[in-house]
Amino acid sequence: MRYLLIALLLSAAGCSGGKHTGAVTGSPGATAAAASPSARATAAAPGSRATPASAVPLRSARAGATHPPGSQNVTVSETDNGHTISVRRQDVVTAVLHSTYWTFNKPSDQRVLLAMSDPTASPQTRGCVPGQGCGTVTVRYLAVGVGRSVISAHRDTCGEALKCSPAQSDWRVTVVVTGS
């Protein structure tokens, strides 16, 4: 019921114009205040791995929604692999991975992070040899509850007929959501 209410609120509010506040990047422990006042990057537990899950989210907020008024948009990518970020409830976390071979898993706790849409692949056709996986895959998540959730993705192929090494196969970011 709570998720239906959130989806209705997003729809009624019309959602603001999605101002990008920057990526949360840097070395473990680096502060990302320039990206968002509510985001901070720190190191995750070494050797931890995401549990495989279905590539399609079970529940999602209103498809095509931007972010709620007053919320921040925090973008994570390959450089954030293994990091932990902190956001506030109602913030949007956008994950952008730079290969169309990535498959996103469901968030580990959908009471904390809710996918706003299915993953969207944006292939790059200019200057790319077919089969290289040029382009991006993007998923937007809404922080709906206080707690911790892991967003993760997996790929087996790192280019045409090129199997990924174990270090290139898995991506994960832990998101800690605090109250608003």
Tens digit of each residue's pLDDT (9 = 90 or more) over 34-43: 333 333 333 3
Write down the domain spans for the chain. Answer: 2-178
Among the four given CATH numbers 2.60.40.2020, 3.40.980.10, 3.30.470.20, 1.10.3720.10, the one describing domain 2-178: 2.60.40.2020
Query: How many Å apart are CA 71 and CA 31, to the nearest integer?
Result: 19
Query: How many Å apart are CA 39 and CA 36, to the nearest integer?
Result: 5
Tens digit of each residue's pLDDT (9 = 90 or more) over 100-112: 999 999 999 999 9
Other Cβ atoms closer than 10 A to 140: 24
Query: How many Å apart are CA 104 and CA 2, to the nearest integer?
Result: 24
Query: How many Å apart are CA 166 and CA 180, to the nearest integer?
Result: 38
Tens digit of each residue's pLDDT (9 = 90 or more) over 16-35: 333 333 333 333 333 233 33
